[in-house]
Amino acid sequence: MTSMTSMTSMTSMTSMTSMLDAMKMFLAVAESGTLSKVAWERTMAVSSVTRRIDGLEAELGVRLFHRSSRQLLLTDAGEKFRVSALQMVSDLEGVKAELSALQTDPHGLLTVTAPSGFGRRHVVPAAMRFLQLYPQIQLNLHLSDDLVDLAERRIDVAIRIGKLPDSDLVATKLAQYSRLACASPDYLARAGWPATPENLLKHNCLTIATPPLPAGWWSFAGTLGGSPLPVRGSFQSDDTESLLQAALHGIGIVHLASWLVGWLAS
């Protein structure tokens, strides 16, 4: 069922389109000075063109042309309306061109920021595929673990990991992730498998060098009430890629995000 609001909107749009068509017809007649020439150019009957002009004059409540058997001349009101009609038609064509451009392939500058490790491993490959699909886009990618002011840096898209602070920005959840305790087969062959989270206290755990620990590091449901285990190890770093490389070399156990280590299991 069509609502009354929709019907009113449709009627308004139809009336606006009819008015614009009539203005274009008026401008064509004003330029040529004859009805027959405009009718011939538009493959219309002269009577149809006449009705359009008559309808426009009735709508405006003024006579736009002095009519004779040979030609049509603009009245003073017609001259004034011609200036306005030219501007209105020009504005309409400009809007139509802008709307048409929106239907073409995306183009322009797109500025994106993402955390360093996640960006190198996941955003950069996706960005390369994106640019292949949309070659008219200029992509400006900033990889940094610093939380920058998005408005000040004119960032269009920001990819963040973890819980976001209160913000008036629009956020869309892309994926769920978890932290996984991982070690190389060589390390586990030497040191054994930890059967419980508490067993990690007896292992060489590779962790963040500078406190505080990020949310979820060395925390396990049902262990210490969810508080981080006080693990220790021979290697610490503020760079998660370095911790991953140390674990791959058999140095110890890491507790890293699934997006960082998941590819190793595939």
Which pLDDT tens digit goes with each residue over 150-164? 888 889 999 988 777
Strands 179-182 and 108-114: unpaired
Burial 236-259 (b: 16+ CB within 10 A, else e): ebeebeebbebbbebbbbbbbbeb
State the average pLDDT over residues 104-115.
87
Tell me what pLDDT residue 7 has: 32
Above 50 in pLDDT, residue 3? no
Q: What is the pLDDT of residues 29-47, one digit of tens each?
A: 888 888 888 888 888 888 8
Cis peptide before 212 (omega within 30 of 0): yes
- Kindly report the average pLDDT of the chain as a whole number: 84
Q: Give the model confidence (pLDDT) of 51-90 as tens digits.
A: 888 888 888 889 988 887 777 888 999 899 889 888 888 8
* Residue 162: predicted pLDDT: 77
DSSP 55-112: HHHHHHTS--EEE-SS-EEE-HHHHHHHHHHHHHHHHHHHHHHHHHHHTS---EEEEE
Cα–Cα distance, 227 to 219 (Å, whole number): 6
Quick one: what percent of the chain has pLDDT higher than 90?
32
pTM value is 0.55
Looking at residue 55, its pLDDT comes to 87
Q: Does residue 263 carry a pLDDT above 80?
A: no
Q: How confident is the model at residue 264 (pLDDT cuts 50, 70, 90)?
A: low
Q: Is the pLDDT of residue 8 over 50?
A: no
Farthest CA pair distance, the chain? 109
- 26 vs 17, more confident: 26
- In the chain, what are the helix, strand and coil shares in percent, each to the nearest 5? 50, 15, 40
- Alpha-carbon 231 to chain mean position: 43
Pairwise CA distance, residues 171 & 164, whole Å: 9
Q: Could you give the CA distance from residue 99 to residue 114 in angstroms, rounded to a whole number?
A: 32
Residue 119 is classified by DSSP as: I
Rounded distance between C-alpha atoms, residue 2 and residue 225, angstroms:
58
pLDDT band at 216 (very low <50, low <70, confident <90, very high): confident
Q: Does residue 158 or residue 102 have the better pLDDT? A: 158
Least confident of 2-16, 174-188, 210-224: 2-16
Cβ contacts of 143 within 8 Å, gap of 6 or more: 113, 114, 115, 116, 119, 120, 123, 124
Question: How many other CB atoms are there within 10 angstroms of residue 39's CB atom?
Answer: 19
192: confidence class by pLDDT, cuts 50, 70, 90 = very high
Q: Which of 3-12, 224-233, 241-250 has the lowest mean pLDDT?
A: 3-12
Q: Which two tokens stand for residue 142?
A: 């900033």
Q: Check pLDDT > 50 for residue 1.
A: no
- Which structure tokens are listed for 266? 């595939």
Pair 165, 125: CB distance under 8 Å: no
